[in-house]
Amino acid sequence: MKRLENKVAIVTGGGTGIGAGIVRRFAAEGARVCAVGRRQGPLEEVAASLPKGSVIPCPADVSKESDVERIIATALGLGSGLHILVNCGAVNYRGSVVDVPPGEWRKLIDVNLTGPFLTMHHAIPEMIKSGGGSIINIASVGGIRCIPEGTAYCASKAGLIMLTQQTAIDFGPQKIRCNAVCPGLVHSDMTDVGMRMKASDLKTDVEGAYLHAARNLPLQRAAVPDEIAPLCAYLASDESGFMTGSVLVIDGGISMLDAGMVEK
Protein backbone atom coordinates (compact mmCIF):
# COMPACT_ATOMS: atom_id res chain seq x y z
CA MET A 1 0.00 0.00 0.00
CA LYS A 2 1.28 3.48 -0.86
CA ARG A 3 2.06 5.82 2.03
CA LEU A 4 -0.78 8.26 1.31
CA GLU A 5 -3.36 5.81 -0.02
CA ASN A 6 -6.95 6.90 0.74
CA LYS A 7 -5.77 10.31 1.94
CA VAL A 8 -7.17 13.62 0.69
CA ALA A 9 -4.74 16.54 0.51
CA ILE A 10 -4.83 20.23 -0.26
CA VAL A 11 -1.66 21.80 -1.67
CA THR A 12 -1.62 25.56 -2.17
CA GLY A 13 0.85 27.00 -4.65
CA GLY A 14 0.41 23.69 -6.43
CA GLY A 15 0.85 24.87 -10.01
CA THR A 16 4.56 25.63 -10.05
CA GLY A 17 7.84 25.16 -8.19
CA ILE A 18 7.90 23.43 -4.82
CA GLY A 19 4.11 23.16 -4.69
CA ALA A 20 3.93 21.36 -8.03
CA GLY A 21 6.67 18.99 -6.88
CA ILE A 22 4.64 18.20 -3.76
CA VAL A 23 1.47 17.59 -5.79
CA ARG A 24 3.35 15.16 -8.03
CA ARG A 25 4.85 13.29 -5.09
CA PHE A 26 1.59 13.09 -3.14
CA ALA A 27 -0.22 11.71 -6.19
CA ALA A 28 2.53 9.12 -6.66
CA GLU A 29 2.10 8.14 -3.01
CA GLY A 30 -1.62 7.48 -3.56
CA ALA A 31 -3.25 10.68 -2.30
CA ARG A 32 -6.08 12.50 -4.03
CA VAL A 33 -4.96 16.12 -4.26
CA CYS A 34 -6.77 19.41 -4.52
CA ALA A 35 -4.10 21.56 -6.22
CA VAL A 36 -4.61 25.26 -5.53
CA GLY A 37 -3.09 28.22 -7.34
CA ARG A 38 -3.94 31.60 -8.75
CA ARG A 39 -3.64 30.47 -12.39
CA GLN A 40 -5.68 27.72 -14.02
CA GLY A 41 -3.14 26.85 -16.73
CA PRO A 42 -0.24 25.62 -14.57
CA LEU A 43 -2.61 23.64 -12.36
CA GLU A 44 -4.08 21.87 -15.38
CA GLU A 45 -0.60 21.09 -16.70
CA VAL A 46 0.35 19.43 -13.42
CA ALA A 47 -2.91 17.47 -13.31
CA ALA A 48 -2.54 16.33 -16.93
CA SER A 49 0.87 14.82 -16.16
CA LEU A 50 -0.57 12.54 -13.45
CA PRO A 51 -3.07 9.66 -13.36
CA LYS A 52 -6.56 10.86 -14.24
CA GLY A 53 -8.58 11.86 -11.20
CA SER A 54 -5.65 11.96 -8.79
CA VAL A 55 -5.36 15.76 -8.93
CA ILE A 56 -8.18 18.30 -9.14
CA PRO A 57 -7.15 21.85 -10.12
CA CYS A 58 -8.70 24.54 -7.95
CA PRO A 59 -7.88 28.10 -9.04
CA ALA A 60 -8.21 30.34 -5.98
CA ASP A 61 -6.73 33.19 -3.98
CA VAL A 62 -5.88 31.98 -0.47
CA SER A 63 -6.01 35.51 0.89
CA LYS A 64 -9.80 35.55 0.28
CA GLU A 65 -11.90 33.64 2.79
CA SER A 66 -14.65 32.85 0.28
CA ASP A 67 -12.06 31.22 -1.98
CA VAL A 68 -10.68 29.21 0.94
CA GLU A 69 -14.15 27.94 1.78
CA ARG A 70 -14.49 26.81 -1.85
CA ILE A 71 -11.09 25.06 -1.66
CA ILE A 72 -12.22 23.09 1.40
CA ALA A 73 -15.49 22.12 -0.29
CA THR A 74 -13.62 20.96 -3.40
CA ALA A 75 -11.26 18.82 -1.32
CA LEU A 76 -14.12 17.27 0.64
CA GLY A 77 -15.61 16.16 -2.66
CA LEU A 78 -12.55 14.02 -3.41
CA GLY A 79 -13.12 11.35 -0.78
CA SER A 80 -13.90 10.66 2.84
CA GLY A 81 -12.66 13.62 4.84
CA LEU A 82 -9.59 15.82 4.77
CA HIS A 83 -6.24 14.54 6.00
CA ILE A 84 -3.38 16.71 4.69
CA LEU A 85 -2.87 20.44 4.15
CA VAL A 86 0.25 21.95 2.61
CA ASN A 87 0.55 25.72 2.64
CA CYS A 88 3.05 26.47 -0.12
CA GLY A 89 1.50 29.45 -1.90
CA ALA A 90 3.64 32.57 -1.51
CA VAL A 91 4.75 35.80 -3.13
CA ASN A 92 7.90 37.88 -2.69
CA TYR A 93 8.74 41.56 -2.77
CA ARG A 94 12.33 42.58 -2.13
CA GLY A 95 13.29 45.76 -0.31
CA SER A 96 14.15 47.29 3.04
CA VAL A 97 11.52 48.49 5.50
CA VAL A 98 11.86 51.92 3.84
CA ASP A 99 11.71 50.64 0.26
CA VAL A 100 8.74 48.25 0.46
CA PRO A 101 5.51 50.12 -0.40
CA PRO A 102 2.85 49.58 2.28
CA GLY A 103 0.47 48.19 -0.31
CA GLU A 104 2.98 45.53 -1.33
CA TRP A 105 3.61 44.70 2.33
CA ARG A 106 -0.10 44.13 2.90
CA LYS A 107 -0.43 42.02 -0.25
CA LEU A 108 2.53 39.82 0.72
CA ILE A 109 1.33 39.32 4.30
CA ASP A 110 -2.18 38.54 3.02
CA VAL A 111 -0.86 35.69 0.86
CA ASN A 112 2.11 34.40 2.88
CA LEU A 113 0.66 34.58 6.38
CA THR A 114 -3.07 35.31 6.33
CA GLY A 115 -3.55 32.69 3.60
CA PRO A 116 -2.16 29.84 5.76
CA PHE A 117 -4.17 31.14 8.72
CA LEU A 118 -7.37 30.99 6.66
CA THR A 119 -6.71 27.54 5.22
CA MET A 120 -5.90 26.13 8.67
CA HIS A 121 -8.88 27.94 10.21
CA HIS A 122 -11.23 26.15 7.82
CA ALA A 123 -9.34 22.86 7.33
CA ILE A 124 -8.68 21.89 10.94
CA PRO A 125 -12.35 21.27 11.89
CA GLU A 126 -12.66 18.94 8.89
CA MET A 127 -9.42 17.18 9.82
CA ILE A 128 -10.72 16.63 13.34
CA LYS A 129 -13.86 15.03 11.86
CA SER A 130 -11.54 12.76 9.84
CA GLY A 131 -9.73 11.59 12.97
CA GLY A 132 -6.70 13.88 12.68
CA GLY A 133 -4.34 15.12 10.04
CA SER A 134 -1.02 16.62 9.05
CA ILE A 135 -0.39 20.28 8.20
CA ILE A 136 2.86 21.22 6.47
CA ASN A 137 3.72 24.89 6.17
CA ILE A 138 6.40 25.75 3.63
CA ALA A 139 8.35 28.48 5.38
CA SER A 140 11.94 29.38 4.43
CA VAL A 141 15.42 29.77 5.80
CA GLY A 142 14.39 33.42 5.50
CA GLY A 143 12.11 32.76 8.45
CA ILE A 144 15.02 31.87 10.72
CA ARG A 145 17.75 34.19 9.39
CA CYS A 146 17.81 37.51 7.57
CA ILE A 147 18.13 37.86 3.81
CA PRO A 148 19.29 41.19 2.38
CA GLU A 149 16.22 43.21 1.33
CA GLY A 150 13.99 40.41 2.63
CA THR A 151 11.98 42.59 5.02
CA ALA A 152 8.46 41.51 4.08
CA TYR A 153 9.25 37.95 2.98
CA CYS A 154 11.37 37.11 6.03
CA ALA A 155 8.83 38.63 8.41
CA SER A 156 6.02 36.60 6.83
CA LYS A 157 7.97 33.34 7.00
CA ALA A 158 9.05 33.93 10.61
CA GLY A 159 5.40 34.51 11.42
CA LEU A 160 4.46 31.30 9.61
CA ILE A 161 6.91 29.32 11.72
CA MET A 162 5.38 30.68 14.92
CA LEU A 163 1.87 30.01 13.56
CA THR A 164 2.98 26.44 12.85
CA GLN A 165 4.22 25.84 16.38
CA GLN A 166 1.23 27.49 17.99
CA THR A 167 -1.10 25.28 15.95
CA ALA A 168 0.91 22.20 16.93
CA ILE A 169 0.44 23.08 20.61
CA ASP A 170 -3.25 23.93 20.35
CA PHE A 171 -4.41 20.96 18.27
CA GLY A 172 -2.08 18.12 19.23
CA PRO A 173 -4.76 16.64 21.51
CA GLN A 174 -7.08 16.45 18.49
CA LYS A 175 -4.42 14.47 16.55
CA ILE A 176 -3.53 17.39 14.30
CA ARG A 177 0.19 17.58 13.58
CA CYS A 178 1.70 20.77 12.21
CA ASN A 179 5.29 21.12 10.98
CA ALA A 180 7.26 23.72 9.03
CA VAL A 181 9.70 23.05 6.19
CA CYS A 182 12.35 25.69 5.50
CA PRO A 183 13.89 25.42 2.03
CA GLY A 184 16.84 27.49 0.92
CA LEU A 185 17.64 28.32 -2.71
CA VAL A 186 15.27 26.36 -4.96
CA HIS A 187 14.61 26.58 -8.69
CA SER A 188 11.08 28.01 -9.02
CA ASP A 189 9.09 30.57 -10.95
CA MET A 190 9.20 32.97 -8.01
CA THR A 191 12.97 32.68 -7.60
CA ASP A 192 13.45 32.98 -11.36
CA VAL A 193 12.17 36.56 -11.19
CA GLY A 194 15.05 37.62 -8.95
CA MET A 195 17.52 35.50 -10.88
CA ARG A 196 16.62 37.19 -14.16
CA MET A 197 17.45 40.54 -12.58
CA LYS A 198 20.71 39.15 -11.19
CA ALA A 199 21.54 37.60 -14.56
CA SER A 200 21.24 41.00 -16.20
CA ASP A 201 23.61 42.55 -13.65
CA LEU A 202 26.10 39.70 -14.04
CA LYS A 203 25.76 39.56 -17.83
CA THR A 204 24.94 35.86 -17.73
CA ASP A 205 21.84 33.67 -18.11
CA VAL A 206 19.39 32.59 -15.41
CA GLU A 207 21.23 29.32 -14.73
CA GLY A 208 24.45 31.28 -14.36
CA ALA A 209 22.73 33.53 -11.84
CA TYR A 210 21.61 30.49 -9.81
CA LEU A 211 25.16 29.14 -9.82
CA HIS A 212 26.49 32.52 -8.74
CA ALA A 213 23.97 32.70 -5.89
CA ALA A 214 24.93 29.19 -4.76
CA ARG A 215 28.69 29.54 -5.19
CA ASN A 216 29.47 29.67 -1.45
CA LEU A 217 27.00 27.00 -0.34
CA PRO A 218 28.42 23.62 0.68
CA LEU A 219 26.58 21.88 -2.18
CA GLN A 220 27.23 24.79 -4.59
CA ARG A 221 23.88 24.52 -6.33
CA ALA A 222 20.20 25.27 -5.94
CA ALA A 223 17.71 22.53 -5.16
CA VAL A 224 14.98 21.39 -7.52
CA PRO A 225 11.38 21.09 -6.25
CA ASP A 226 11.42 17.31 -6.38
CA GLU A 227 14.12 17.36 -3.67
CA ILE A 228 11.78 19.14 -1.24
CA ALA A 229 8.74 16.97 -1.96
CA PRO A 230 9.96 13.70 -0.35
CA LEU A 231 10.34 15.40 3.03
CA CYS A 232 6.78 16.69 2.72
CA ALA A 233 5.51 13.22 1.81
CA TYR A 234 7.17 11.87 4.96
CA LEU A 235 5.58 14.57 7.11
CA ALA A 236 2.19 13.89 5.53
CA SER A 237 2.43 10.16 6.22
CA ASP A 238 1.88 8.13 9.37
CA GLU A 239 5.63 7.45 9.45
CA SER A 240 6.12 10.89 11.03
CA GLY A 241 3.35 10.34 13.56
CA PHE A 242 5.40 11.61 16.53
CA MET A 243 6.56 14.79 14.81
CA THR A 244 4.79 18.05 15.43
CA GLY A 245 5.95 21.63 15.89
CA SER A 246 9.21 20.80 14.12
CA VAL A 247 11.05 23.31 11.94
CA LEU A 248 12.92 21.28 9.32
CA VAL A 249 15.66 22.98 7.31
CA ILE A 250 16.45 21.71 3.81
CA ASP A 251 18.77 24.34 2.41
CA GLY A 252 21.97 22.89 0.99
CA GLY A 253 23.83 24.08 4.09
CA ILE A 254 23.17 27.83 3.85
CA SER A 255 21.97 28.08 7.47
CA MET A 256 25.42 26.93 8.66
CA LEU A 257 27.06 29.99 7.12
CA ASP A 258 27.17 33.55 8.38
CA ALA A 259 25.66 36.27 6.21
CA GLY A 260 29.07 37.61 5.17
CA MET A 261 30.17 34.22 3.87
CA VAL A 262 26.97 33.80 1.84
CA GLU A 263 27.11 37.26 0.29
CA LYS A 264 30.83 37.61 -0.44
Q: What are the pLDDT digits (tens) for 73-131?
A: 999 999 889 999 999 999 999 999 999 999 999 999 999 999 999 999 999 999 999 99
Q: What are the pLDDT digits (tens) for 9-21?
A: 999 999 999 999 9
Count Cα atoms within 13 angstroms, Cβ side, for 147: 23
Q: What pTM, to 2 d.p., does this model score?
A: 0.94
Q: Is residue 53 in a domain?
A: yes
* pLDDT tops 80 at residue 260: no
60 and 77 both lie in a single domain: yes
76 and 207 both lie in a single domain: no
Q: What are the pLDDT digits (tens) for 25-63?
A: 999 999 999 999 999 999 999 999 999 999 999 999 999
128 and 172 both lie in a single domain: yes
pLDDT band at 258 (very low <50, low <70, confident <90, very high): low
pLDDT band at 259 (very low <50, low <70, confident <90, very high): low
101 and 209 both lie in a single domain: no
What does the alpha-carbon distance between residue 205 and residue 45 come to, in Å, rounded to a whole number? 26
93 labelled catalytic: no
71 and 104 both lie in a single domain: yes
* pLDDT tops 70 at residue 263: no
What is the average per-residue pLDDT within 174-196? 91
- What was the pLDDT predicted at 82? 98
- Residue 171's φ and ψ, nearest 5 degrees, are -120, 10
- What was the pLDDT predicted at 141? 94
196 and 246 both lie in a single domain: no
Number of domains in the chain: 2
DSSP for residue 174: G
> Which one of 93, 153, 210, 234 is the catalytic residue?
153
Q: What are the pLDDT digits (tens) for 212-235?
A: 888 888 999 999 999 999 999 999
Q: Do residues 123 and 135 make contact, with C-beta atoms less than 8 angstroms apart? A: yes
Q: Is residue 246 in a domain?
A: yes
Q: Is residue 175 in a domain?
A: yes
Is 250 exposed, middle or buried (CB count within 10 Å of its CB: 0-12, 13-18, 19+)?
middle
Expressed as residue numbers, the domain containing 192 is 187-222
What does the alpha-carbon distance between residue 247 and residue 244 come to, in Å, rounded to a whole number? 9
Count Cα atoms within 13 angstroms, Cβ side, for 30: 11
More confident residue, 199 or 6: 6
Among 150-159, 204-213, 225-234, the minimum mean pLDDT is found in: 204-213
Handedness of CA 164, 73, 38, 122 (dihedral sign): negative
Q: Is residue 260 in a domain?
A: no
Q: Identity (one letter) of the amino acid at 56?
A: I
Give me the CATH number covering residue 51.
Answer: 3.40.50.720
Q: Identity (one letter) of the amino acid at 77?
A: G
